[in-house]
Amino acid sequence: MLWDALTLQLGYNATLVAIGATLLGVSAGVTGTFLFLRKRALVSDAISHATLPGVCLGFMVLVAFGGDGRNLIGLLAGSAVSAWIGLLCMNWLTRHTRLAEDAAIGAVLSVFFGFGIVLLTVIQTMGVGRQAGLEGFLLGSTAGMLWADALIIAIGGAATLLLVMIIRRPMTMVAFDPEYAAARGLPVHRIDLAMMGLVMAVTVVGLKIVGLILIVALLIIPPVTARFWSERSDRVVLLAGLAGGLAGYLGAALSASAPNLPTGPIIVLVSFGFFALSMFLAPVRGVLAAVLRHMRFQRRVHIRQGLLALAQGQKIYEPLTLRLLRRAGLARADGVATETGKARAAKALRDEKRWEIVRADQTHEATAALYDGLRDIETVLTRDQIAEIDRLIGGPQEVPA
């Protein structure tokens, strides 16, 4: 069943949803990355909650003019208008009052959402009969998705993605160093607004699939997932798109593979799965890597300290140091150095002196920055450079490099 879903063989609706969710995931991940880099991830929460009044008002207008209250374009247009108003309110509050952005987000989010719920209740008591489905915008509903709906999502997502790619350089510059960007003449405020406008577009496009409450997850989780894997913003953007797209696709397939599994929440959970895996397993920034790195570092510190003590004929008291030296065959149980231990100890002592010279010499600055008290000097300098340093140190040269 799951295999059928993954290979898009579960029927027309499931296929539409899977394609739509994948595209949405990619554009949400990519757009959300810039928001994340700008440290304004929570703005997306206010934007998404501010869509609700627009959806309801859009419905009312459609019905009042005798149209179909479920016309997706009409509802999305309404949601975009109210989200934009919410965005401007938030911006105005942060720029012209002493409120911090988090307070402005809280204010806009709750007021707009509250107003939206009131309108929703009003619509339900209007007894129009065709209102069924508006609640679907809260958590997304994909059951009755039409070809036209999928097309809107695909076009909207692709257009957003294209715009993001066009203004990615100014957005990155503003995110990293807004003052420098302003000094270069970039319209920082307008670039921020454009960025949030794009986030709004993704939100509106995603209402049908994941709904306004959970779209935040697709905007924030893929970027933070991607951040674990790369130290370069352009790659973080690509990886976030990948993580988002994959989560959308897998989530949609999973929810189609069993009856009564909601699409939006499943996508979010899959996305979280990627996040959890990355958090633990990522090679450099991951939690596991950090723990292992710390333990390895501690062992190396102990061995180095032990070797230096051996070289200077000092007694070693620290049990862990002794144990590690013994296990490495560098010392006997009574703390006396073995033959290998003596050689390594002599080298360690000489390396200390070599590092001392490297660190005092400005021409070796890039090398000196790698100094951690442990690194073997031959891994960062050539044989000739070491010989040069040894000449400076003077004394007996029999210690092997």
Partner 1 sequence: MLELAAQQGVSVAGKGLEGSPLAIRGLTVSYGQKPAVFSVDMTVQSGAMTAIIGPNGAGKSTLLKAALGIVTPLSGQVSVFGEPLEKQRARIAYVPQRASVDWDFPTRVIDVVLMGLSRELGLLGRVRARHMACAMDCLHRVGMRDFADRQIGQLSGGQQQRVFLARALAQDADLYLLDEPFAGVDAATEKAIIAVLKSLKEAGKTVVVVHHDLATVTDYFDHVFLINTRKVAEGTVAEAFTAETLQSAYGGRLATAQIDQISRALG
List of E strands, 103-257? none
Best CA proximity match to 24, nearest among 155, 141, 212: 155
Residue numbers 225-284 binding partner 1 by CB under 8 A = 227, 230-233, 235-236
**Structure tokens, 156:** 């909207």
Per-residue binding letters, 183-212, with partner 1 (x by CB under 8 A): xxx---------------------------
Distance CA 214, CA 366 (A): 46
Closer by beta carbon to partner 1, 102 or else 365: 365
Q: For partner 1, which is the closer residue by CB, 357 or 399?
A: 357
Stretch that binds partner 1, among 61-69, 114-122, 202-210, 364-372 (CB under 8 A): 364-372
Instruction: Give the range of 85-93, 179-187, 322-330, 389-397 binding partner 1 by CB under 8 A.
Output: 179-187
List 337's β-bridge partners, or say none. Answer: 331
Cα–Cα distance measured from residue 46 to residue 219, given in angstroms and rounded to the nearest whole number = 13
- CB 78, min distance to partner 1, A: 32
Q: Are 167 and 174 in contact (CB under 8 A)?
A: no
Span interacting with partner 1, options 136-144, 151-159, 201-209, 223-231, rule CB under 8 A = 223-231
Region of 74-82, 146-154, 181-189, 311-319 interacting with partner 1 (CB under 8 A): 181-189
CA distances from 373 to 134, 300, 320, 337, 340 (A): 64, 10, 19, 21, 21
One-letter amino acid for residue 40 of the chain: R
List Cβ neighbours of 7 (8 Å cut-off, separation of 6 or more): none
Distance of alpha carbon 183 from alpha carbon 338, whole angstroms: 64
In sequence order, which residues have a C-beta less than 8 Å from that of residue 152 and are 6 or more positions away?
72, 73, 76, 205
Question: Of 17, 331, 43, whose CA–CA distance to 147 is shortest?
Answer: 17
Choose which of 65, 319, 369, 398 interacts with partner 1 (CB under 8 A): 369
CB of 376 to partner 1, least distance (A): 19
112-151 footprint of partner 1 as x/- string (CB under 8 A): ----------------------------------------
Q: Which is nearer to partner 1, 169 or 294 (CB)?
A: 169
- Residue numbers 29-68 binding partner 1 by CB under 8 A: 37, 39
Nearest to 318 by CA among 305, 332, 329: 305
Q: Which of 125, 312, 362, 379 binds partner 1 (CB under 8 A)?
A: 362
Quote the least distance from Cβ 356 to partner 1, whole Å: 16
Residues written for the chain: 401
Q: Which is nearer to partner 1, 73 or 165 (CB)?
A: 165
* Contact with partner 1 (CB under 8 A) among 92, 180, 280, 297: 180
Comparing CB distances to partner 1, the nearer of 380 and 399 is 380
Indicate the residue type of 279.
M
Distance CA 317, CA 323 (A): 11
Which range in 133-141, 170-178, 267-275, 288-296 contacts partner 1 by CB under 8 A? Answer: 170-178
Determine, following the binding rule CB under 8 A, whether residue 167 of this chain makes contact with partner 1: yes
Distances (CA, A) of 366 to 118, 348, 363, 380, 401: 63, 21, 8, 10, 21
Q: Which of residues 157, 170, 264, 306 is near partner 1 by CB under 8 A?
A: 170
Contact 304, 377 (CB under 8 A): no
Using CB under 8 A, which of the segments 262-270, 338-346, 358-366, 383-391 binds partner 1? 358-366
| DSSP for residue 381 | S
Q: 149 or 192: whose CB is closer to partner 1?
A: 192
Q: Give 331's strand partners.
A: 337
Residue type for position 251: G
Quick one: which segment of 101-109, 141-149, 168-176, 274-282 binds partner 1 (CB under 8 A)?
A: 168-176
For tokens 């440290």, name the residue: 39
Interaction between residue 96 and partner 1 (CB under 8 A): no
Find out whether 252 and 240 touch, Cβ atoms under 8 Å. Answer: no
Nearer to partner 1, 5 or 236 (CB): 236
Point out which residues bind partner 1 (CB under 8 A): 37, 39, 166-167, 169-170, 172-173, 175-177, 179-180, 182-185, 227, 230-233, 235-236, 362, 365-367, 369
